[in-house]
Amino acid sequence: QVQLVESGGGVVQPGKSLRLSCAASGFRFTSYGMHWVRQAPGKGLEGLATTSYDGGEKFYADSVKGRLTISRDNYKNTVYLQINSLRPEDTAVYYCARDHAGAVAGSSWYFDLWGRGTLVTVSS
């Protein structure tokens, strides 16, 4: 079964860090780029970060650059998102999404498969 399953969310205090995981199954993980997208409660979607199929290229939205780190482990079929210095405005459902291809620079990207998301709540 082709799927993405996120984990690692929860209630976190402001200023703390958190690492989210996204486990992939049912497809050749090493062939695909991966993305993270978030959605604040009742709000729209926000693109955060992208990693190429081999982890050699990483890209970040300007709004989060410096606080987020995307990484992947192709042996574990898992992509990660490290979020540092959490703020209340980081409260959101965090989705991982598969790219339709390798997500290398200069190619065309889009999200062809989404996980169900994991909720991160930043509150004291």
Partner 1 sequence: SYELTQPPSLSVSPGQAASFACSGDKLGDKHVFWYQQKPGQSPLLVIYYNDRRPLEIPERFSGSNSGDTATLTISETQAMDEADYYCQAWDRTTAVFGGGTKLTVL
**Which residue in the set 47, 77, 82, 91 belongs to the binding site for partner 1 (CB under 8 A)?**
47
Sorted by sequence, the CB contacts under 8 Å of residue 121 that are 6+ apart come out as 9, 10, 11, 12, 91
Strands (DSSP E) along 3-122, which ranges?
Answer: 3-7, 10-12, 18-25, 34-39, 45-51, 58-60, 68-73, 78-83, 92-99, 111-114, 118-122
Q: Looking at 9-17, 69-77, 78-86, 92-100, which segment touches partner 1 (CB under 8 A)?
A: 92-100
62 belongs to the binding site for partner 1 (CB under 8 A): yes
Task: Count the residues of the shown chain that bind partner 1, applying the rule CB under 8 A.
Answer: 23
110 belongs to the binding site for partner 1 (CB under 8 A): yes
* Residue 7 vs 15, nearer CB to partner 1: 7
Structure tokens at 61: 């939205």
Structure tokens at 60: 């970040």
For 89, the 3-state DSSP assignment is: helix
Q: Looking at 7-15, 21-29, 80-88, 93-101, which segment touches partner 1 (CB under 8 A)?
A: 93-101
CB of 110 to partner 1, least distance (A): 5
| Residues composing the chain | 124
* Residue 62 vs 124, nearer CB to partner 1: 62
Interface with partner 1 (CB under 8 A): 35, 37, 44-47, 50, 59, 61-62, 95, 97, 100, 105, 108-112, 114-117
